[in-house]
Structure formats: C-alpha cells, structure tokens
Amino acid sequence: MAGMARSRKSKNGSRTKSLLDYIAYALARVLLIPVRLLPFWLITPAGRIFGLTMFFVVHGKYKKIAYKNMDIVYKGEHSWWQKRRLLARSFKEMGANIFFLMNIKKSLGHIDALYEVRGFEKVAPYVKEGRGFVGVSLHMGLFMLVCQKLARLGLGATYLIRAPKNERVAVFMFDFMAPYGISYVLDKPKRACVAGVLRALREGRMVVMMTDIKHSPKEGVWSDFLGNECVSFVGAALMAKRAGCPVVPFAVVREERRFVIEFLEPIVADISLPVESIVRLYEKQLGRFVFEHPEQWWWLHDRFRHNRQDEAAENARVLA
C-alpha cells in the first residue's frame, strides 16, 4: 500500500512538473511577440517593468535562496527591507537583459552603442597569435551578447552552458540563438563537453565559463568567494591546465546607458600552478564586481549551498 501511494505521488509530481514546464515554455513564446515589437530605446524601461513585476510574482524557493545568499555575503547586517530592495533592483536588471536578448535583432543592430570594452590590451596578444584562452565570468549584465562585440575585435567566443531542466525551453532557447552565431558547448555529457571546449581553444576562441553557479564538493574545490569559504567551480582551471592556456577573468556590468566588458589580468595556468590557486585567484578578482554592482548580480543561484559555515554548524549539531 505504501509503495502504491509513493508511486501515485510520484506520478502526480511528474504531471505537475510537466504542466509547469509547458506553461513556462508557452509564456516564453507568447512574451517574445510583443518584446520584438519594442523600439530599441524602450527595451530597458520595458524590461525593468517586467523584471519588477516578476519580483512580486516569484515566491518560495528562489527568493529564499537569494535572501540566504545576501545573509552570507553581508554577514546578516542587511535588514529585510534592504535585502528586498536589493533583490527588486536585481530583478529589474535581469528583466532588461532578458528583453535585450529576446529582441536580439535590434540589439545587434546597436552593438557598438550597447558595449564598451576595457582592458582588451590584456588579451590582444592571444588574439594576435590565434591562441585560445578560458574566460571566467559571472551572471551579470548582458553577458550573452558579448560574443558579437568581441567578434568585431577579432576574438571569437564560445559559451559553456548548462542546459535548462525544462526541455521545451532548452530547445526553444537553442533554436532562438542559432541564427545569430552564438556558439556554445553543453556541459553534459562530459566527454563531449571536454572535446568541444578543447576544440574551441585550439581554434583560438575564448571559452566563456560562468563560475557563480552551485557545485558539489565532488565537482569543485574549496575557495573564498565574497569573503566566504565555499565550493567553487574548478572546470576553468582544469581545462586551462590541460590546454596549456591562460584563464582570463572578465565581467559585464551596466554603466548608465551601456554595458562595459572589462578584462582583468590573465592568470597563466601552467603545470606548476595548483588548480586551487588558480580558482582562488579568479574568484577573488571576480568578487569585486559583485561588491561594486550588487544590484546586477543574479542572487537567485544557490551559490553557497556548500560552505564552511553551514558545514561547521551541521557538524556541531551532529556532535551535540
């Protein structure tokens, strides 16, 4: 009887998830129509209104994760109203960036007005020599269209992405990006992922990897991010060492009416430098962008799922 109850509950949960996946897919398709009709100058304000609307609509898991992240980063010093205000601003920025991506044809028509590149001289020698490198970044600003701006400077970019769990949305997203030359490699299966990354590096491309998503201790290393010991993304360091290429931290942030792509000092990933050292270097460099522009970071990722503070608390609870 208990087995039958569990089976029935599992089937009901599967049907509910399938229905929610379909609703999300349908909403994305419907939203695309009016967004594409927006004039370029209206994309930012309309996107921010959409983002603020989603801030009031979204509840539960993701807001809890965001507020938990803020408590960890700011050591509990932010009041509930401060966290709420910061998260609302973050939603507004995400909404604007989503609208730029959905209206990609108009966005690409204004690519030079959208982006300013700083620190390109730090990677120019690699571009000139046709050497690939790993670019590590964060979910900030309009990061998905930087490839089009960098292509004008002679640098091709390939994104390492984690496919959405919603298969309908995943197919829709990939079909949507394909006509605009956005190159990507999926993180699974791992063998195909490694082959795709190495191929892109051999072709002299920058392989963009986002470091600010959750990772298990089996897939990452302990490092300091935003002043907290947590499990950090190790793939960038491993691939750079395997390919014998540099790791270059960079971020995309909005400054008034344009986005700034800022390259930081390359980290030379030679055989003698330990993986942990490479990870700590790029996590420290990228962290300053979050402190300087907290409203532009995606607080919704469960970045601190595995951290020393929670681990110590759990060990104390077990020993008590």
The domain limits of the chain are 2-104, 112-296
Q: What is the pLDDT along the chain (320 residues), one digit of tens a residue?
A: 545 445 554 555 566 667 767 777 787 788 888 999 999 999 999 999 999 999 998 888 889 999 999 999 999 999 999 999 999 999 999 999 999 999 999 999 999 999 999 999 999 999 999 999 999 999 999 998 999 999 999 999 999 988 777 777 777 777 777 778 788 999 889 999 999 999 999 999 999 999 998 777 877 899 999 999 999 989 999 999 999 999 999 999 999 889 999 999 999 866 678 899 999 999 999 999 999 999 999 999 998 988 766 554 544 444 44
The whole-angstrom separation of Cα 266 and Cα 275 is: 15
For residue 26, the model assigns a pLDDT of 83
The whole-angstrom separation of Cα 59 and Cα 55 is: 8
* E strand map for the chain: 115-118, 133-137, 157-161, 183-186, 206-210, 220-225, 228-233, 247-255, 258-263
SS3 221: strand
For residue 7, the model assigns a pLDDT of 53
SS3 60: coil
SS3 289: helix
Q: Which two tokens stand for residue 70?
A: 């803020």
For residue 59, the model assigns a pLDDT of 83
Read out DSSP for 179-211? GGT-EEEES-SHHHHHHHHHHHHHTT-EEEEE-
For residue 182, the model assigns a pLDDT of 84
For residue 319, the model assigns a pLDDT of 43
For residue 4, the model assigns a pLDDT of 47
For residue 257, the model assigns a pLDDT of 86
The whole-angstrom separation of Cα 129 and Cα 216 is: 37
> Any bridge partners for residue 263, and if so which?
250
Spell out the residues 6+ positions from residue 132 whose beta carbon is closer than 8 angstroms to its own: 126, 200, 201, 202, 203, 204, 205, 206, 207, 243, 245
Q: Which two tokens stand for residue 12?
A: 């009901």
The whole-angstrom separation of Cα 33 and Cα 41 is: 17
DSSP label at residue 99: H
For residue 318, the model assigns a pLDDT of 45
Q: What global pTM score does this model have?
A: 0.88
C-alpha angle with apex 82: 76 to 87, nearest 5 degrees?
Answer: 100
- Whose structure tokens read 């996946």? 21
